[in-house]
Amino acid sequence: MNQSEVERAVARATGESRHFVRRFGFSLITDEPKFDTAPALAIDCPGCGAVFDPSNDLNLGKGLECPRCDAIYPVSVDEFYVVDGPRQPLVACA
């Protein structure tokens, strides 16, 4: 598929003109997305459900401290699961 065919297909699907579609720069993705292949552990916050990276100073005796909930939850080892790679740190709500 070339650029002209992409623009024609998007124009047909949206009902817009090819000129309108061309201005928004629709194009084919040339590279496959790169995924982090290193597996990592994760745990879900019981309060808000956010995925938490336990490598960020998690103490099993203390529990999971979620910055979104502003609470500490007890955790056990069987609540951890493997994800594709390390996650971004959670950000507390303002």
pLDDT of residue 56: 62
**Residue 61 vs residue 86, higher pLDDT:** 61
For the chain, the domains span 1-32, 40-83
**CB neighbourhood size of 64 (10 A):** 21
Of the candidates 90, 88, 83, 89, the one whose C-alpha atom is nearest the C-alpha of residue 40 is 83
pLDDT of residue 29: 73
Structure tokens that stand for 83 in this block: 């994800």
CB distance 17 to 11 below 8 Å: yes
Confidence of residue 94 (pLDDT cuts 50, 70, 90): very low
| Whether the predicted model's global pTM rises above the 0.75 cut | no
pLDDT of residue 85: 57
Confidence of residue 93 (pLDDT cuts 50, 70, 90): very low
pLDDT digits 0-9 by tens, 35-81: 666 777 888 888 888 887 776 656 667 788 887 888 888 888 888 88
